[in-house]
Structure formats: structure tokens, C-alpha cells
Amino acid sequence: MTDPASRGSESVSAPVFEAVRANIAVRDFRDEPIEDEHLLRILEAARLCQSGKNLQPWYFIVVRNRMALVKLSEFMKGDIDEQRLQRAPLAIAIISDPTSEFHIVDAGRVIQNMTLVAWELGIGSTMISGLEPPNRDSSRDSIKRFLHVPENLNLVDLVVFGYRKRLRLVKQKRRKELEKLVYDEFFGNPLILKQPKT
């Protein structure tokens, strides 16, 4: 089978696929600030993201100040993510505007853009996502207040970023088999594809 990436005129490698394949949640970072150039690249990856009706229903708050990160972590007292926030050099709060009906899907896409581009720069990341009610409702409100997020906007998530300590290349990700996820034409009908020649 022709490598799909080689069909275009410009590229014979598949850097996006490789980033998708290699990217895993990183929770332990080098003790180094993120360079502005890299931060800008991550934010550009967010800005350029597609969104429903091109409404771009998002805002981002960059938190690098150690005291602020520690304060954020205090809103999660006792939670495993508390330490992740304390140690990370950078957290970005992802805010969505619920007046767009697509805001949650859009937020997911924007986070994926940011984390994949970060990965390419040697920067790992993970989401601190359990802010959903009912378990962490009060954390969400406290964090919103601390970050001055207007009432009408939605704090989707905090994403922590930092330079990876090492590149742990995962040969096999713990994921469901395609056969358990994909059907042909109707639900339950197995999709049969030719295997690539090895």
C-alpha cells in the first residue's frame, strides 16, 4: 500500500501520524520553563484550530507563575492532580463559550492541536480534567474565580505542559482493537481491509 503521506507532493514522512502514535500523557516534567517561542507555537496551534461555524468559542489563560500554580493546585487538595499542577512549569486553562452549540467538541479539538504541536517540540502534557461536577464542582468554581473567568464562560479544563524528561517510545498503546470500534456500512458489520504488505 502506498504510504498515504507520500501521495501529496510535499511530504514523504507522516509527522502528524507519528505524533499521534507516540503522544502519551506526560505527568512528570523537566524543571525548566517553557520557552516563549514554544509557548507561542502552542498558542498558534490553538488559534488556527477549526471550529463549528468558525465561531472560535474559546479563550486561553497561560499560568506560569509558580505561586499561581501552587494556588491552583490547592483547589484540588488531596487529589493526585494537585502535585502535577505544583510541579508543572505551565498550565493553560481552556475556556469555552457555551453560546456556541459546538463549544465542547471545539474545545476537544483545540486541546488536541495544542498537545500534538507541543509534543513535536519535546513538550509533554496532560489534562487535569476531572473538574466535572459533582466531584470537583467546587474546584471548578474556585479556579474560575481565581483566574477571573467571567461567570457566563465555561472552564473546560486545565492542561499542564512541560519538557519531557525522556522520550518513552511506546510500541503498543493500550487501546481497543479497531475491530471493536469500527463497522462497515452499518453497526455491527465487520470492516474487512486488505492488510498492508510487509
Ligand X SMILES: Cc1cc2nc3c(=O)[nH]c(=O)nc-3n(C[C@H](O)[C@H](O)[C@H](O)COP(=O)(O)O)c2cc1C
Residues that bind ligand X (CB under 6 A): 24-25, 27, 81, 126-130, 173
How far, in Å, are 1, 12, 192, 198 from residue 195 at the CA level? 8, 21, 9, 9
Which CB atom, from 171 or from 197, has the smaller least distance to ligand X? 171
Which CB atom, from 56 or from 129, has the smaller least distance to ligand X? 129
Task: Confirm if 93 and 145 have CB atoms less than 8 A apart.
Answer: no
CA distance 42 to 167: 19
Shortest distance, CB of residue 105 to ligand X, whole angstroms? 12
Which CB atom, from 24 or from 62, has the smaller least distance to ligand X? 24
The angle subtended at Cα 112 by Cα 107 and Cα 113, nearest 5°, is: 100
Shortest distance, CB of residue 68 to ligand X, whole angstroms? 19
Shortest distance, CB of residue 191 to ligand X, whole angstroms? 24
Shortest distance, CB of residue 80 to ligand X, whole angstroms? 7
CA distance 7 to 14: 11
Which CB atom, from 172 or from 198, has the smaller least distance to ligand X? 172
Instruction: Record the cell numbers describing residue 99, joined without a space.
Output: 453560546
Shortest distance, CB of residue 158 to ligand X, whole angstroms? 9
The angle subtended at Cα 122 by Cα 58 and Cα 109, nearest 5°, is: 25
Tell me what percent of the chain is helix, strand and coil, each rounded to the nearest 5.
35, 15, 45
CA distance 178 to 188: 13
Which CB atom, from 23 or from 51, has the smaller least distance to ligand X? 23
Which CB atom, from 81 or from 106, has the smaller least distance to ligand X? 81
Peptide bond into 134 cis (omega under 30): yes
Can you tell me whether residue 28 is helix, strand or coil? coil
Shortest distance, CB of residue 173 to ligand X, whole angstroms? 5
